[in-house]
Amino acid sequence: MICVVIKGPTYLEARQQIERALPYADLVELRLDLFVNVDETSLLELKSIFSIPMIFTLRSQAQGGNFNQSEESRVEHIYRLAALKPFYLDLESHMPEDVVRDISSLHPEIQLILSYHNLQETPENFDHLYADMQKIPAHFYKIAVTAKSSVDTMRLLVWSKNQNAKLIPISMGPNGQISRILGPIVNHPFTFASLDEDPKNPLGQLSAKLLIEQYRYRTLTSQTAIYGLIGDPVNLSISDETHNAVLAACGMDAVYVKIPVKSTELSPFLELAKALPIRGLSVTMPLKKSIMSFIDHLDVKAEKIGAVNTLQFKEDQIYGFNTDGMGAMEALETKCGIQGKHVVIIGAGGAARAIAYEAVQKKALVTVINRSPEKAYEIAHAFGCQGKGLHEMPACAQVGYDILINCTSVPMPIAFEDILLHVLVMDIKTKPKVSLFLENALKKGCQVIFGYQMFIAQALGQFKLWFKRMDRNKSQKILEEKVMTSLSSIKTERLILRPWRESDLEPFAKLNADPRVLEYFPATLTREESDALAQRIISKMDEQGWGLWAVSLPGVSDFIGFIGLSKVLFEASFTPAVEIGWRLAYDFWGKGYAPEGALAALQYGFETLHLDKIVSFTTVQNERSRKVMEKIGMKHHPEDDFDHPRLSLEHPLSRHVLYSVRAQDFFSLNPKKA
């Protein structure tokens, strides 16, 4: 079951939150310590309106809550809450035993949850803790502990799978998120989820919608197989979105999760993994080489490459494979053959090794270039190719090459002039779709291979190892669809900035026909004009991988307008430039959505596109938009105000004000986004 946490803080907001939770929740927890007050009349009203089971919780500060009065006062409040007869009542394990027994005796119809929270660590001995808690009779026992690593979470999962059905174990924090997903597989009665997605949630709670739609929480059972990604970091990977979509479409009783694991944690992690129904793992940096010593059976190709990106678990044994090089070759061969081509690989990590090995096997002439030449020399010696230092790239370019591959995390690891005209260029990074490296290659007239193309090919190779009867064509189609959606989306606290859909055209036309929305534009748009504008936006998004994103407000509206970035090419003192802009339906004005989405778009522009400056402009009269520009840290530059070249000088909206912000100023104003 899924319990959605309701935080108020007003009772009106609580009611709205419960209404939004109903499609996803089996029960809700009212965190009354976060409410403005404990109002018994309002609580009875909520109970009368909603039939969904409720947990009443008044969490003390000592246990991570917000109730700041004395413990005596809290106990008095809890007695009054019990009198309201909620379906469940949370009582902390440190409460006097006689109080718990008294409440149980007075209200036997209430299911009591005895809860323990450790905000500092995960205890070593769960048995002792659980035995102590069970000395006090309760319907459920909640053990919530802070996971300092995924090993802590794995210990809790392995231990809990052999306990009784009264136990609700939770690993808190980012390292503990898998405990919230995998609960049904290890027989946890329910998990706690947030109403909305919040990447900053310190408890690591996932939204109920995400649990259901991405991880298929309601279908997970003790028979479900676990697959996942391990590495450090893993948070930027889109594999949980893509792979779970494939598993769902192909009817596989399996789930895919991301697990942060450091090199020093490999030994205990893998031992614990064998005690769970884990059947396969993808391996990313920095584990591809260090994990090899823990593998029982190493594929011949992986052994020669000296790196592993795929694990298979069979009968308490771990098998290691490498699909990176094969994936890169498949992506490259959609454009040209490899044999006889001069391939220059920048970087010397696990992926670079795999690509170099496969390219040599296909009789390519390979040169590996790396900042630390010794690593390039080592690969060259192992595979019979050339190795050079990064400082030798200009000489390499002078000699010439056919294929250039960036296997580093550096946005632009070589000089612009070292990218030759009209060669084939690949960047193995998945995000952004058009990296700075590829953007510069396109300027040189090069054909490009996107990182997601290699990602898809190597993932299909992993699926072939894990699932003998999976439909490759179907899997590839789903991977392509999910990858493109994921690469083009941005999530904020309340919004999703995403690619456009056909269903957006009608509400977009309605928005563009509203004179309040287009007050500072020359005219409202007809349906045909609105559709044409949308198609231009969509074309730019498809071409660049970024642009003016459609905006969804989850749980409220699938389309409320657009927010995003666009290139400004008309002649002016500040062009060419990249502009940030927004247009939202009138019903969603005044709620902070424009600055929230605009800040995320600015961050994308500076972090992902590596822009130095972003501008925004509007008519002099548009005070509302100017306030948003100022709210997101942009500064007005009166000396650059201009008459819009697409309006006559006599037009009342001709005069425009220019605002801008530079990357360094944005991050100094928003240090948490740096």
Residues 563 and 653 in one domain: yes
Residue 525 tokens, joined = 């748009």
Domain boundary among 177, 192, 212: 212
> Do 593 and 634 form a contact (C-beta atoms < 8 A)?
no
461 in any annotated domain: yes
Residue 82 has pLDDT above 70, yes or no: yes
573 in any annotated domain: yes
pTM comes to 0.84
Q: Strand 317-321 vs strand 297-298: parallel, antiparallel, or unpaired?
A: parallel
Domain boundary among 212, 235, 268: 212
360 in any annotated domain: yes
| Residue 117 annotated among the catalytic residues of the structure | yes
Q: Does residue 237 have a known ligand-binding role? A: yes
The kind and range of the H/E element at 230 are strand 225-231
Residues 287 and 314 in one domain: yes
CATH of the domain at 411: 3.40.50.720
Q: How confident is the model over 581-596, as a mean pLDDT?
A: 97
Beta bridge partners of 278: 226
Structural domain containing residue 617: 490-669
Q: Does residue 29 have a known ligand-binding role? A: yes
Per-residue pLDDT tens over the stretch 496-512: 999 999 999 999 999 99
Q: Helix, strand, or coil here: 580?
A: strand
Residues 83 and 105 in one domain: yes
CA distance readout (Å), 642 to 72, 478, 615: 67, 47, 13
Q: How confident is the model at residue 433 (pLDDT cuts 50, 70, 90)?
A: confident
**Cβ-proximal residues to 1 (8 Å cutoff; 6+ apart), any chain:** 26, 27, 189, 190, 191
Q: Which residue has the higher pLDDT, 350 or 170?
A: 170
Q: What pLDDT is stored for residue 484 in this prediction?
A: 84
Residues 206 and 290 in one domain: no
Q: What pLDDT is stored for residue 487 in this prediction?
A: 81
> Do 658 and 637 form a contact (C-beta atoms < 8 A)?
yes
What is the rounded distance in angstroms from the CA atom of residue 223 to the CA atom of residue 187? 11
Q: Which of 77, 107, 117, 433 is catalytic?
A: 117
What is the rounded distance in angstroms from the CA atom of residue 183 to the CA atom of residue 195? 18
Q: Does residue 349 have a known ligand-binding role? A: yes
What is the rounded distance in angstroms from the CA atom of residue 654 to the CA atom of residue 478? 47
Residues 286 and 358 in one domain: no
User: In this predicted structure, which of 17-21, 170-174, 451-455, 469-473 has the lowest mean pLDDT?
Assistant: 469-473
Q: What is the DSSP string of 401-449?
A: -SEEEE-SS-SS-S-GGGSPTT-EEEE---SSSS-HHHHHHHHTT-EEE
Residues 360 and 314 in one domain: no
Q: Does residue 428 have a known ligand-binding role? A: yes
| Nearest one of 184, 187, 188 to 216, comparing CA atoms | 184
Helices (H), ranges, 50-96:
71-83
> Do 540 and 547 form a contact (C-beta atoms < 8 A)?
yes
Residues 377 and 265 in one domain: no
Q: Does residue 31 have a known ligand-binding role? A: yes
Q: Does residue 144 have a known ligand-binding role? A: no
Per-residue pLDDT tens over the stretch 266-313: 999 999 999 999 999 999 989 999 999 999 999 999 999 999 999 999
Q: Which residue has the higher pLDDT, 474 or 198?
A: 474
Residues 523 and 417 in one domain: no
Per-residue pLDDT tens over the stretch 184-231: 999 999 999 999 877 667 788 999 999 999 999 999 999 999 999 999
Chain centroid to CA 463: 22
Q: How far apart are the first and last CA of the chain?
A: 37
What is the rounded distance in angstroms from the CA atom of residue 54 to the CA atom of residue 56? 6
Q: What pLDDT is stored for residue 672 in this prediction?
A: 61
Residues 61 and 157 in one domain: yes
Residue 515 DSSP class: T
6 in any annotated domain: yes
CATH of the domain at 113: 3.20.20.70
Q: Does residue 451 have a known ligand-binding role? A: yes
**Cβ-proximal residues to 437 (8 Å cutoff; 6+ apart), any chain:** 406, 411, 412, 413, 425, 427
Q: How confident is the model over 315-321, as a mean pLDDT?
A: 96
Q: What pLDDT is stored for residue 674 in this prediction?
A: 55
Residue 673 has pLDDT above 70, yes or no: no
Q: How confident is the model over 100-110, as a mean pLDDT?
A: 97
Q: Does residue 272 have a known ligand-binding role? A: no
Residues 48 and 189 in one domain: yes
217 in any annotated domain: no
What is the rounded distance in angstroms from the CA atom of residue 310 to the CA atom of residue 319? 8
Q: What pLDDT is stored for residue 200 in this prediction?
A: 64
CATH of the domain at 550: 3.40.630.30
674 in any annotated domain: no
What is the rounded distance in angstroms from the CA atom of residue 160 to the CA atom of residue 454? 38
CA angle 637, 638, 639 (to 5 degrees): 90
| Residue 161 annotated among the catalytic residues of the structure | no
Domain boundary among 187, 212, 237: 212
Q: CB count, 10 Å around CB of 68?
A: 10
218 in any annotated domain: no
Residues 512 and 548 in one domain: yes
Q: Which of 161, 243, 288, 388 is catalytic?
A: 288
Q: What pLDDT is stored for residue 537 in this prediction?
A: 96
What is the rounded distance in angstroms from the CA atom of residue 672 to the CA atom of residue 599? 12
Residues 101 and 125 in one domain: yes
CATH of the domain at 294: 3.40.50.10860
247 in any annotated domain: yes
What is the rounded distance in angstroms from the CA atom of residue 510 to the CA atom of residue 526? 9
At 50, give phi and psi (nearest 5°): -115, 135
> Do 197 and 177 form a contact (C-beta atoms < 8 A)?
no
Q: Which of 77, 107, 142, 188 is catalytic?
A: 142
Q: What pLDDT is stored for residue 15 in this prediction?
A: 97
Summary mean pLDDT of the chain: 95
Q: Structurally, how many domains does the chain consist of?
A: 4
Q: Does residue 180 have a known ligand-binding role? A: yes
